[in-house]
Amino acid sequence: MLKYVIRRTLQMIPLLFAISVVIFSIIQAAPGGPEGTLLDRGMFVDPAAIDAYRARLGVDQPVYIQYFKWVGAMLTGDMGISFQTQRPVLMMILERMPDTLRLMGLSFIVAAIIAIPLGVFSAVKQYSTFDFLATGASFIAIAMPVFWFGLMMQYFFSVKLQWLPVAGTMTVGVGGFMDKLKHILMPATVLSLHSIAGWSRYMRSSMLGVLNQDYIRTAHSKGLEKRTVISVHAVKNASIPVVSVMTLDIARLFSGAVITETIFGWPGIGRMFIQAMHARDYPLLMGIMMMGSTMVVVFNLIADVIYGWLDPRISYE
Partner 1 sequence: MSETVSSNQAQSLAAEGIAVQLRSNKKIMWEKFLQHKLAVVASLFLLLLATLCFLAPVIAPYEFDAIDLYNIRSAPSMKHLLGTDALGRDLLTRLLFGGRISITIGLTAALLGSFVGTVIGSSAGYFGGRIDNLLMRFTDLAYSIPTLPLIIVISSYSNTQAFGIVVIIGLFSWMQTARVVRGAILSVKENEYVTAARALGAKDRLIILRHVLPNISNSIIVGATLGVGNAIITESSLSFLGLGVSPPTPTWGNMLMDSQATMASQPWLTVFPGMAILLTVLCVNFIGDGLQDALDPTL
What span, in angstroms and rounded, lies between the C-alpha atoms of 261 and 272? Answer: 9
Question: Smallest Cα–Cα separation from 262: which of 180, 151, 122, 157?
Answer: 151
CB of 315 to partner 1, least distance (A): 20
Q: How far is residue 60's CA from residue 239's CA, in Å, rounded to a whole number?
A: 54
Part of the chain binding partner 1 (CB under 8 A), chosen from 92-100, 123-131, 233-241, 249-257 = 249-257
- Minimum CB separation from partner 1 for residue 233, in Å? 26
Smallest distance, Å, CB 176 to partner 1? Answer: 27
Q: Is 173 in the site for partner 1 (CB under 8 A)?
A: no
Minimal distance, residue 90 CB to partner 1, in Å? 18
Please select the residue that binds partner 1; options are 79, 203, 251, 284, rule is CB under 8 A.
Answer: 251
Interacting residue with partner 1 among 47, 145, 223, 312 (CB under 8 A): 145
- 17, 38 Cβ separation under 8 angstroms: no
d(CA 190, CA 295): 21
Per-residue DSSP letter, 172: T
Closest distance to partner 1 from the beta carbon of 51 (Å): 23
154 is a contact residue toward partner 1 (CB under 8 A): yes
Binding mask 114-133 for partner 1 (x = CB under 8 A): --------------------
Q: Are 110 and 117 within 8 A, CB to CB?
A: no
Angle value at C-alpha 247, between 152 and 168, nearest 5 degrees: 35
Q: Is 13 in the site for partner 1 (CB under 8 A)?
A: no
Does 26 bind partner 1 (CB under 8 A)? Our answer is yes
Which position among 68, 148, 215, 309 is part of the footprint of partner 1 (CB under 8 A)? 148
Closer to partner 1 at the Cβ: 59 or 296?
A: 296
Q: CB of residue 304 vs partner 1: minimum separation in angstroms?
A: 13
Radius of gyration of the chain, Cα coordinates, nearest whole angstrom: 24
Contact 152, 190 (CB under 8 A): no
Interface with partner 1 (CB under 8 A), residue from 110, 230, 292, 304: 292
Measure Cα distances from 231 to 58, 108, 224, 238, 310 in Å.
Answer: 60, 22, 11, 10, 16
User: Which residues, numbered 59-98, are part of the site for partner 1 (CB under 8 A)?
Assistant: none
**CA gap 273, 26 in Å, rounded:** 15
In 29-166, which ranges are continuous DSSP H helix? 36-40, 47-57, 63-75, 89-124, 129-143, 146-153
Phi first, then psi: give them for residue 172, nearest 5 degrees: -60, 130
163 binds partner 1 (CB under 8 A): no
Q: Which is nearer to partner 1, 16 or 224 (CB)?
A: 16
151 binds partner 1 (CB under 8 A): yes
Q: Decide if 77 contacts 89 (C-beta within 8 A).
A: no
Distances (CA, A) of 14 to 20, 92, 143: 10, 27, 37
Of 29 and 43, nearer to partner 1 (C-beta) is 29
CA distance 297 to 9: 10
Per CB under 8 A, the list member of 6, 113, 133, 274 interacting with partner 1 is 274
**Residue span binding partner 1 (CB under 8 A) among the ranges 67-75, 182-190, 228-236, 285-293:** 285-293
Instruction: State yes or no: residue 302 binds partner 1 (CB under 8 A).
Output: no
Contact residues toward partner 1 (CB under 8 A) are 15, 18-19, 22-23, 26-27, 29-31, 139-140, 142-148, 151-152, 154-155, 159, 251-252, 254-256, 258-259, 262-263, 273-274, 277-278, 285, 288-289, 292-293, 296-297, 300
